[in-house]
Amino acid sequence: MGREAEGHAVWRGASGAVKAVLERDGIRLRGEVRALLPRAGLREWRVEGEDLCLRSDGEPLALTLGAREAAAWVRALDKPLPSLAAKLGVSPMARALVLGGPAPEAIAVALAGAEVPGPEQAAVIVAVLTGPGDLAAALAAGTATGLRVWCVYGKGKGAAVGDAAVRDAFRAAGWIDIKACAVSEAFTATLYRPPV
C-alpha cells in the first residue's frame, strides 16, 4: 500500500489539515485531525469529487485529497493484502528450512506445506529466535548454505532476542538487512542476505 498525501479530513466531528498515510494495517491521520483507522474496519471506500470517502468501524471519514489521489487510494484499498507466506516469499515452489522455535502461529500457518527438512531443497531459512543459541544457529546455517535468512523474533523489551541483538550479530558478520515485515502483534521478522 504505502501511500501518503496531504489534504483535509473530516472525522468524528473534527475537521482540519492532515497528512494521511495508507499503511498495510490501516490509515493513519496526522495533523489537525489524528487517528489510526485499522484496515479490518475500513468499508465502502469510493471517490466523491475530490474526496476519498469511506467508513471506519461504521463511522464516515472524508479525506479531501484531489480526485486523482483519491482514485489511487481506492485502487490501493481494492488490492487484497498479501499473505504472510507471500511476504516471506515461501510457497510449495520456494520452500523454507525452519530453525529454532517453536514458531508463532502466524509463521506456522504461513509455512504450512512449504517446509523442508534440510537446506538442499530450501530457497530460504526461517529462523525463530527464542534465545541467543537460536541466533547463533541461524547465522551459522545461513553462512554454511549461502541462503537468505528470515529472523523471526519478539517485539518489545520482553523479547528473548531483540531487534538490536539480531541486527548487531548479522551486520558484524557482513550480512545486510534487506526487508522487514510484521508477523503478528507480538512478533516481527527481518530478512538478511549474506555478504557478497
Same domain, residue pair 55 and 140:
no
Is the same domain home to 67 and 126? no
Structural domain of residue 107, as residue ranges?
Answer: 84-193
User: Are 72 and 109 contained in the same domain?
Assistant: no
Q: What is the pLDDT of residues 26-70, one digit of tens each?
A: 899 999 999 999 988 999 999 999 999 999 988 999 999 999 999
Predicted confidence at residue 24, as pLDDT, reads 79
CATH number at residue 40: 2.30.29.30
What the block records as the C-alpha cell of 32 is 489537525
Q: Last residue of some domain: 78, 110, 140?
A: 78
pLDDT digits (tens, 9 = 90+) for 141-175: 999 999 999 999 999 888 999 999 999 999 999 99
Same domain (yes/no): 68, 38: yes
107 in Cβ contact with 32 (< 8 Å):
no
193: Cα separation from own chain's centroid = 18
56 and 96 co-located in one domain: no
Residue 105 and residue 54 share a domain: no
- Among residues 143, 136, 195, 193, the alpha carbon closest in space to that of 166 is found at 136
Q: Specify the pTM.
A: 0.72
Any bridge partners for residue 178, and if so which? none
The number of distinct structural domains making up the chain is: 2
Give the confidence band of 1 by pLDDT, cuts at 50, 70, 90. Answer: low
Q: Please identify, among 12, 47, 78, the residue that sits at the C-terminal boundary of a domain.
A: 78
pLDDT average, residue stretch 112-139? 95
